[in-house]
Amino acid sequence: MSEPSETPDTVKTQGYFQPLGKIGHYDLLKKIAEGGMGSIYMARNTKDKTVVAIKVMSPNYVHNPVLLKRFEQEYRVASKFNHPNLVRALEFGTENGLPFLVLEFVNGESLGVLISKQGKFEELEGIKIIAQVAKALNQVHKDKLIHRDVKPDNILVGKNGIAKLTDLGLVKEVSVGDLNLTRSGRGLGTPNFMAPEQFRDAKNADIRCDIYSLGATLYTMLTGELPYKSVNPLETWMKKVQNDLPTPRELNPRISERTDWAIRRAMDSDPDIRPSSCREFVEDLVGKSTRKSTVNNAALEKANIKPPSEAIWFMAYNDDQGKQHVVKGTAKAIRRSFKDGILEDPIKYKLGKSAEGPFEDMKIFPEFRDLAVHLTKPNTNANSKTKQDGEPTPITIPDESSKITKEPKRPQTETPSKIYYVVGAGVVIAISLIIYAVISLR
């Protein structure tokens, strides 16, 4: 939806705007957005004088049963939530044959408008906003729902800095499917921000599709560029399945390597490589767990033990004879050892918080996940999981007091031959043309 350049503040709304008309017990004050299904107005409740937003369906669509059900679904779903980062639905009704939806009014603008005004966001600012949206999506996912249309235009940022996710009209209920509101083989959402599997068939969308869209939204915020801009839908899909997209750091070198990696992981063509939850995506961005620390500082103080200034990790590995060894070091020292090539192949090593274990795969821990999760290489078959050149190298300073045992280097895996690449590309193009033909006939 397009929005005006400025949204009046609430005080002016209540005191100075003349009504444009009336819907129910609401005076319409100003049109604030226009979209394909209808218009959104700023309105005032004549009973308690509160300011709300009202979405009114266009007369062109009131006889479309699918769109009517989606409109009703948006209210039914949004009214279930009372989350600080989700726009609340307050009321649903019909006036003169036109359905309308009363929503919480957000005194601010959409991310789409903000990006068009100011261009790219600073990295920390962008992550703070996306972390709020991730909390909202996490709640949606806990309720067994998939949003399916996460994008900058559906994220409102108030003047108080609070971000709110809106527009639940395309929500899919995991337990009951899609209420037959989506035809098989049809992708719903916005092509630039959709995961490739959702692009093929929206009925197959799951949590990882929303995470893809969240990553694509952050991509746009930090680069000022739409993913896969200026290409037709078929070419967009082909580029998506091949990860044929400039990395965030290529477009904005000021982006950190960790954030660049986290975005690329969230937007990977292979859903199995993406984070499995919104919490995990935020952990990828910040490089640490979002869960509360298990360290009991009160108990340490009682025992007159000073908490360590930097956590010590214990790393277990087996030598050539199968004997297990355990070494310790800070996160900085361990990461530096991989960066410098002293240690290779993170899959060989497991980490724990004590010398006795338990020891778990490195990808379990946000501090090391970027070392252990290999992204799909661009411009190759989407099922390839070979390590991508230029994976993030941590910007850290090694702890010289921490000793890490040097491991023998392993031979590098050979790259696929050119003929396999050509054949794979041909298969992708053929499948794409078939899908395009099927969609065109519908």
The alpha-helical segments, DSSP class H, found in 38-193 are 65-78, 111-118, 123-142
| 287-307 b/e (C-beta count within 10 Å ≥ 16 → b) | bebeeeeeeeeeeeeeeeeee
What whole-number distance in Å separates Cα of residue 221 and Cα of residue 116? 10
Query: How confident is the model over 189-211, as a mean pLDDT?
Result: 84
pLDDT of residue 160: 93
For the cut 60, the answer to whether the pLDDT of residue 384 exceeds it is no
Residue 399 DSSP SS3: coil
CA distances from 15 to 18, 208, 246, 436 (A): 9, 45, 49, 53
pLDDT of residue 396: 34
Higher-scoring residue by pLDDT: 309, 228: 228
Query: How confident is the model over 83-108, as a mean pLDDT?
Result: 91
Query: How confident is the model over 407-414, as a mean pLDDT?
Result: 45
Contacts of 384 (CB under 8 A, 6+ apart): 376, 377, 416
Higher-scoring residue by pLDDT: 232, 396: 232
Query: How confident is the model over 166-174, as a mean pLDDT?
Result: 70
Contacts of 353 (CB under 8 A, 6+ apart): 294, 311, 313, 314
Higher-scoring residue by pLDDT: 265, 412: 265
Percentage of the residues of the chain whose pLDDT score is greater than 70 = 71
For the cut 50, the answer to whether the pLDDT of residue 412 exceeds it is no
Query: How confident is the model over 408-417, as a mean pLDDT?
Result: 45
For the cut 60, the answer to whether the pLDDT of residue 139 exceeds it is yes
pLDDT of residue 169: 65
Domains and CATH numbers, the chain: 10-104 (3.30.200.20), 109-286 (1.10.510.10), 308-410 (no CATH)
pLDDT band at 112 (very low <50, low <70, confident <90, very high): very high
CB 278 within 8 A of CB 132: no
Tens-place pLDDT, residues 279-292:
999 999 999 887 65
pLDDT of residue 336: 87
State the pairing for strand pair 324-330/312-318: antiparallel
pLDDT of residue 189: 57
Report the first-to-last Cα separation within the chain, whole angstroms. Answer: 26
For the cut 50, the answer to whether the pLDDT of residue 149 exceeds it is yes
pLDDT band at 261 (very low <50, low <70, confident <90, very high): very high
pLDDT of residue 104: 93
What whole-number distance in Å separates Cα of residue 165 and Cα of residue 156? 6
222: Cα within 13 Å, side-chain hemisphere: 32
For the cut 50, the answer to whether the pLDDT of residue 34 exceeds it is yes
pLDDT of residue 175: 47
Strands across the sheet containing 324-330: 324-330, 312-318, 350-352, 360-361
What pTM was estimated for this model as a whole?
0.73
Query: How confident is the model over 105-111, as a mean pLDDT?
Result: 94
User: What Rg value do the Cα atoms of the chain yield, rounded?
Assistant: 25
Query: How confident is the model over 194-207, as a mean pLDDT?
Result: 82
pLDDT of residue 274: 96
pLDDT band at 28 (very low <50, low <70, confident <90, very high): very high
Catalytically annotated residues: 149
Higher-scoring residue by pLDDT: 272, 33: 272
What token pair was written down for 155?
């994220």
- Dihedrals φ, ψ of 43, to 5°? -140, 165
pLDDT band at 225 (very low <50, low <70, confident <90, very high): very high
What token pair was written down for 234?
């078929």
For the cut 70, the answer to whether the pLDDT of residue 301 exceeds it is no
What whole-number distance in Å separates Cα of residue 264 and Cα of residue 268? 6
For the cut 60, the answer to whether the pLDDT of residue 318 exceeds it is yes
CB 137 within 8 A of CB 210: yes
Tokens 């949590």 belong to 207
Tens-place pLDDT, residues 367-382:
889 888 888 877 544 4
pLDDT band at 14 (very low <50, low <70, confident <90, very high): very low
pLDDT of residue 16: 53
What whole-number distance in Å separates Cα of residue 232 and Cα of residue 37? 23
Strand partners, 351: 315, 360
pLDDT band at 240 (very low <50, low <70, confident <90, very high): confident
Surface-to-core class of residue 324, CB atoms within 10 Å of its CB (0-12 exposed, 13-18 middle, 19+ buried) = exposed
Mean pLDDT of the chain: 77
Contacts of 108 (CB under 8 A, 6+ apart): 7, 156, 157, 158, 159, 160
Select from 162, 60, 66, 147 the least CA-distant residue to 109. 162
Residues present in the chain in total: 442
Residue 300 DSSP SS3: helix
pLDDT of residue 307: 53
